Amino acid sequence: MFALVALEYFLSYRTNKNLYNGKDFLASAAIGFGNLFVNALTKVGIFYIVVICYNLTPWTIPHTWWSYILCFIALDFVRYWSHRISHFQRFWWSTHVVHHSSTYYNFSTSFRLSWVQNLKLVFFVPVFMMSFDPVVFIIIHQLEILYQFWIHTELIRKLPAPVEYVFVTPSHHRVHHAVNEDYIDKNFGSTLIIWDRIFGTFKEEKEQAIYGITKPVNSYNPVYLVFHAWGDLLRDIWQRPQKSWSIMFGSPTAWERKQMEKAKKDKKKQPKQAKKRIDTRVVEPVETI
């Protein structure tokens, strides 16, 4: 992966495309290494859960060629819905926002995975309960994760139409990462884009994507990037405990836009207040100066 990052950086430099920023890359790399450490622990737990379900359920799906296909379809379907929910509820958005926080879009962006993203394993319980052979599940699960790497690039544009119709491509995923009005909350597919086409969340790439989140973070601190949304969430719950449920499971996009509008209003008020203070001092009688 780092070799491909180096190649992408070299090609972007040769073609005068500003695809990388030093601090942004270091932040993504630090978050990625932290995620590797967390996953080293959680993947053991996931495998253990899969083995328990496989041994306890009265049914099992044997290790055959078709079980890989079935597991892939089931897992990709659940990944679509867990991803979609994480964009529409603030609690789950807090486990995912770090992945969208960069204003750059390159291979290293795929490293930005939250250290608490495995809370979303609750969505995968139905797949666990299908009792796939643990080896089948782990292989398909890992392939799904690895697939996400190559779709984070500007250098690969449109692919042949059949591929674009069935699979998630860099073009589709650029739309997903964009804050353009028409692109927000679109293309949630993990490996297959057909779920977006079926459930009405598909958007084709037409204009250049603008990356980031609607309330910019303006930080390269990896710890802050991972946990800043949790701080905002807990602060809001502390201030309005009676609305805890709606705060936790309300729209994060609506909340971010509201915060941005509030910040803009506050910014407009500041120059006027400063001007008023200056005028007050100027019009004082000379005798009192």
pLDDT at 48: 87
Residue 95 · residue 110 · CB < 8 Å? no
User: Residue 230 — very low, low, confident or very high, per pLDDT cuts 50/70/90?
Assistant: very high
pLDDT digits (tens, 9 = 90+) for 53-108: 899 889 999 999 999 999 999 999 999 999 999 999 999 999 999 999 999 999 99
pLDDT digits (tens, 9 = 90+) for 149-186: 999 999 999 999 999 999 999 999 999 999 999 999 99
Q: Is pLDDT at 112 greater than 70 in this prediction?
A: yes
Identify the pLDDT of residue 59.
92
Stretch 19-39: mean pLDDT:
93
Mean pLDDT, the chain, whole residue set:
88
d(CA 275, CA 289): 19
Can you give the pLDDT at residue 288? Answer: 36
**What is the pLDDT, as a whole number, of residue 260?**
67
pTM of the predicted structure, to 2 decimals: 0.85
The pLDDT score that the predictor gives to residue 262 is 72
* Average pLDDT of span 213-231: 93
Return the exposure string of 104-142: e unless at least 16 CB atoms fall within 10 Å of the residue's CB, then b. Answer: bbbbbbbbbbbbbbbebeebbeebbebbbbbebbbebbe
For residues 265, 270, 273, 279, the Cα torsion angle rounded to the nearest 10 degrees is -130
For residue 223, pLDDT over 80 is answered with: yes
